[in-house]
Amino acid sequence: MLSISKTAYLFCILFTTVYSVVLPSGCNQGNEPQDIDNAIQDAVELARAALAALTSGKVNGNENVFKGAYNPLFAPEDRLEDHVVLHRSNRYWVDKDYASKPNAKPMPIPIGVGDPAKGLKPGAFGSYATLGYKFNDEYDTEGHGHIYIAENRRRPPTNTFRDVRRYPDIVRDGLDPRFTALENIKPLAQTMLHELIHVAGGLTDPDPNRKNKRDFKINDGPSNDKTYGWMKCNKRRKTRKPNIHIADCITFLAQAIYLQIGGKDTYWTTGEVDINTLRPKHIPRQTS
């Protein structure tokens, strides 16, 4: 069984995610409110299940099932809308829907994605989050965050090659024979949890060498080699690169813990299971 001290960081992030208050802020236009509400509910359920497993070191009372979810991803010691506008410099986008807590003064928050040169807003590249911070006593939006869910995640195309059913439905009804790998199971709640983890992790201190820029502490990996998907997280793990600060790796850990099909021990050690036995299914070695 893993010591809590070894998983304190993940424990803290998932604890924060579980007990965060999520308030829709109208960031998405034309969305289906019930789908968003369901995704938030499912994301919280995933975080609760992962939190319980990280506390006990077991899934379904079984240490080996927990290890099947945890070990491929982490080392034991780890533990746009009207308010999105172009900054006056024309070099990056900002979320202007932030007001300083002490005085309600506007405090636009920079957005680290998007391509101003091509006129592409951040939402064109997928889901993302912004997070407020304290600049000084006059400008302070710490504790406020916004999440944008991309259109193709809110309304997936009918020909999508992924299982986008809700997590509780997958556990209850079983795996789709076409989608027995974690990579191909992608409910809306997965994106919601990923972005919540960014927000729950908070921001780094200002970097004086980068004009006091701040980044998410829980990020998406190196800028030249973004880490998305179980396979990429597992590849990093095999090469002894830490995943503790990568949102998708924490998300897939929660997903592997929660997806215990039909309440039976389900081993995600290789990222894919046999649909009949729920034991690990061999995946050919990933090549770069």
Query: Does 196 or 126 have the greater pLDDT score?
Result: 196
pLDDT in tens, 27-76: 554 456 788 888 888 988 888 888 778 767 889 999 999 999 999 998 77
pLDDT the model gives residue 152? 74
pLDDT band at 180 (very low <50, low <70, confident <90, very high): very high
Burial 13-50 (b: 16+ CB within 10 A, else e): bbbbbbeeebeeeebbeeeeeebbebbbbbbbbbbbbb
Query: Does 267 or 15 have the greater pLDDT score?
Result: 267
Question: Is 50 exceeded by the pLDDT of residue 6?
Answer: no
pLDDT band at 246 (very low <50, low <70, confident <90, very high): very high
Q: Report the chain's terminal Cα–Cα distance, integer Å.
A: 34
- CA gap 189, 10 in Å, rounded: 19
Under 8 Å between Cβ of 93 and 87? yes
pLDDT the model gives residue 97? 79
DSSP string, 110-146: EES--BGGGTB-GGGG--EEEE--BSSSSSB-TT-EE
Give the residue extent of every domain in the chain.
4-80+155-263, 84-148
Residue at token pair 């040169």: 117
pLDDT in tens, 206-239: 888 988 888 888 999 998 889 999 999 999 999 9
* Bridge-based pairing state of the strands 109-111 and 93-95: antiparallel
Mean pLDDT value across the chain: 82
